[in-house]
């Protein structure tokens, strides 16, 4: 199977032009994403024919554990770059609509001169604030025995802590929170340090993946949470710094549409035996 490897500020994906959702099974996606026994990636993205004629393609995302999320922010930037590079008549226009399992998302790809990278702007759809959660974690040190989170729906489920623990604590409580019974579908857990009204330092423990270098929907969730708490302004651009790089996020209003702008880059093309 032919594939292209892309990364969006270090969140990396195996992108495959496919005809059917079943061209790569969850088990195969997990094998392909393994960084020792496979290609290595945070996820697989299938670029499928659109269901509606005036859309460019349909995106199906598989997390590194094979689970299937509704949406992926860094991934859609990488897919938009892929389509702009491989089918410029379709993907290199100004506003290109892609179908996702969270609904249609519009992308604009600004190809950089070397055409291996691009600055991509994405209409990320509505960011809905779901409300406060206080989750108890038995066996954690007292300051993290209870964690205050804000549930945020970005098409996929997020919960944001506006307190930032140490890396060691994140490694321990991230997976416990991501699979907490409070989240029947699981959740992506963002740990945000709001530096000021236009700058957030963020780390995300992603559902179905673990700690990633960046999370686009997580950046939207963190900005939405900061605005809901009065720590940032609805509609104003916020720079979100993640371990792999930076994104610019606008969230227009509670439940209103968000916009994300950030880089995407082609890493290599390849062919892999997916076996039986």
Catalytic residues: 72, 215
**217 carries a ligand binding annotation:** yes
Q: Does 189 interact with ligand API (rule: CB under 6 A)?
A: no
What one-character DSSP code corresponds to residue 220? H
Q: Classify the phi-psi angles of 247: left when phi > 0, otherwise alpha if psi is within -120 to 50, otherwise beta.
A: beta
**174 carries a ligand binding annotation:** no
Q: Does 63 interact with ligand API (rule: CB under 6 A)?
A: yes
Q: For residue 255, count other CB atoms closer than 10 A to its CB.
A: 12
Q: Smaller CB distance to ligand API: residue 72 or 84?
A: 72
Binding span for ligand API by CB under 6 A among 26-34, 70-78, 128-136, 140-148: 70-78
Q: Does 206 interact with ligand API (rule: CB under 6 A)?
A: yes
Binding span for ligand API by CB under 6 A among 46-54, 141-149, 209-217, 240-248: 209-217
Burial string for 181-197 (b: 16+ CB within 10 Å, else e) reads eebeebbbbbbbebeee
Q: Smaller CB distance to ligand API: residue 40 or 140?
A: 40
**206 carries a ligand binding annotation:** yes
Q: Does 264 interact with ligand API (rule: CB under 6 A)?
A: no
**Least distance (Å) between residue 139 CB and ligand API:** 26
Q: Smaller CB distance to ligand API: residue 107 or 196?
A: 107
Q: Smaller CB distance to ligand API: residue 56 or 215?
A: 215
Helix (H) or strand (E) holding 200: strand 199-206
What one-character DSSP code corresponds to residue 155? S
Among candidate residues 94, 275, 1, 169, the one with its CA nearest the CA of residue 189: 169
Q: What is the number of H-type helices and E-type strands within the chain?
A: 5, 16
DSSP secondary structure string, 45-109?
EEEE--SSTTSSEEEEEEETTS---S--HHHHHHHHHHHHHH-HHHHSSSSEEEEETTEEEEEEE
Site string for ligand API, 135-174 (x = CB under 6 A): ---------------------x------------------
Binding span for ligand API by CB under 6 A among 49-57, 99-107, 135-143, 211-219: 211-219
Q: Does 188 interact with ligand API (rule: CB under 6 A)?
A: yes
What one-character DSSP code corresponds to residue 143? G
Q: Smaller CB distance to ligand API: residue 83 or 221?
A: 221
Residues between 11 and 50 with contacts to ligand API, criterion CB under 6 A: 11
Would you tell me the crossing angle of helices 216-228 and 73-86 to the nearest 10 degrees? 140
Q: Does 100 interact with ligand API (rule: CB under 6 A)?
A: no
Interface residue with ligand API among 149, 192, 215, 232 (CB under 6 A) is 215
């Amino acid at each position: 199977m032919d594939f292209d490897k892309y990364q969006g500020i270090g969140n990396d994906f195996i992108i495959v032009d496919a005809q059917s959702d079943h061209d790569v099974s969850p088990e195969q996606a997990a094998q392909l994403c393994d960084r020792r026994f496979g290609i290595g990636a945070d996820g697989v993205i299938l670029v499928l024919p659109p269901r509606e004629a005036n859309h460019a393609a349909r995106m199906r995302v598989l997390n590194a554990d094979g689970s299937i999320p509704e949406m992926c922010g860094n991934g859609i930037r990488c897919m938009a770059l892929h389509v702009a590079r491989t089918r410029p008549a379709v993907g290199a226009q100004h506003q290109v609509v892609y179908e996702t399992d969270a609904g249609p998302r519009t992308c604009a790809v600004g190809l950089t001169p070397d055409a291996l990278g691009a600055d991509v702007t994405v209409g990320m759809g509505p960011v809905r604030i779901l409300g406060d959660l206080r989750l108890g974690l038995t066996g954690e040190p007292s300051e993290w025995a209870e964690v205050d989170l804000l549930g945020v729906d970005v098409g996929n489920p997020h919960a944001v802590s506006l307190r930032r623990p140490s890396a060691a604590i994140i490694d321990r409580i991230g997976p416990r929170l991501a699979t907490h019974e409070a989240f029947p579908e699981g959740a992506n857990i963002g740990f945000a340090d709001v530096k000021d009204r236009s700058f957030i330092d963020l780390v995300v423990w992603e559902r179905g993946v673990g700690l990633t270098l960046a999370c686009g929907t997580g950046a939207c969730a963190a900005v939405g949470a900061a605005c809901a708490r009065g720590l940032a302004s609805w509609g104003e651009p916020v720079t979100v710094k993640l371990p792999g790089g930076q994104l610019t996020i606008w969230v227009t209003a509670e439940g209103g549409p968000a916009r994300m702008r950030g880089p995407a880059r082609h890493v290599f093309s390849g062919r892999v035996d997916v076996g039986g």
